[in-house]
Amino acid sequence: MKKLITLLGAIICAALAALTGCSGAQTFTEKAYQSGDGTIESVTIDVTDRQLEISASDDEQVHIYYFDSEKEYLDINSDDNQLSVTLTLDKDWTDFIGTKPAEEYRKIRIQIPDETIVNLSANTTNENIEVKSLSFAEGLNLNSNGGNILCERVNVGKSIDLTAKNGDITGTVIGSWDDFSISCTIKKGDCNLPESKDGGAKTFKADCNNGNINMEFVN
């Protein structure tokens, strides 16, 4: 019995040592993307464990500033006036054991032309999404599972759809109260908007689980 216990202990220790070694550090490199002369009308961002900061660019191009490693890297593709940004994880299961990359490596800064993007959709986990001072011809769709959503002076032609879990939804929307039909779903939190309001030509929808909704309509 003692030999069996000793053998099991040795196996466990070896396994733990192997796991620790397999979760070793990655090398991150700073990178930048620029859309060039082509027209971009729609932007879709689908990542995990990345903070998104989205703001206006100084020109008519899309700029993306980010960090890649050999095991975590962005795939950026432009096709038929649509730009897609996705995070690829080229990892073994043991690579998921250990600490996250440093905060600076988990931030993606996206700059897009104001008023020329028709639709923006962004999805992330465990981090925040910030969209500041941008107008969209049609709609804005943001989803964060495990982080906050901040919209600062956003303007849309048709719709805003915001979803957060374990985080808050806050900020300001350009337009009057009467411009929007409102639908809010709140669970384990507070909301300064009604659950339902009809009558607007545009739609505002917010869904928050375990967080607060605090949005204002401003001129």
pLDDT tens digits, one per residue of 69-114 = 999 999 999 999 999 999 999 855 455 555 678 999 999 999 999 9
Q: pLDDT higher for 29 or 99?
A: 29
Mean per-residue pLDDT, 125-151: 98
Query: Structure pTM?
Result: 0.85
pLDDT band at 20 (very low <50, low <70, confident <90, very high): very low
**Which is it for the CA torsion 48, 104, 167, 175, positive or negative?**
negative
Mean per-residue pLDDT, 56-69: 95
Go through 32-65 and write b for each residue having 16 or more CB atoms within 10 A of its CB, e for each that does not: ebebeeeebebbbbebbbbbbbbbebeeebbbbe
The whole-angstrom separation of Cα 112 and Cα 59 is 8
Interacting residues of 43 by C-beta distance below 8 A, sequence separation 6+? 62, 82, 83, 84, 85, 110, 112, 117, 119, 120, 121, 122
**Domain spans, the chain:** 46-218
Reading the block at residue 7, the tokens are: 């053998």
- For 175, list phi and psi in degrees, rounded to 5: 130, 170
Q: Cα–Cα distances in Å, from 128 out to 92, 131, 154, 168?
A: 26, 10, 16, 9
DSSP-derived 3-state class of residue 7: helix
Q: Chain-wide mean pLDDT for the chain?
A: 88
Q: Which of 39-43, 97-101, 115-119, 149-153 is the least confident region?
A: 97-101
Mean per-residue pLDDT, 156-168: 98
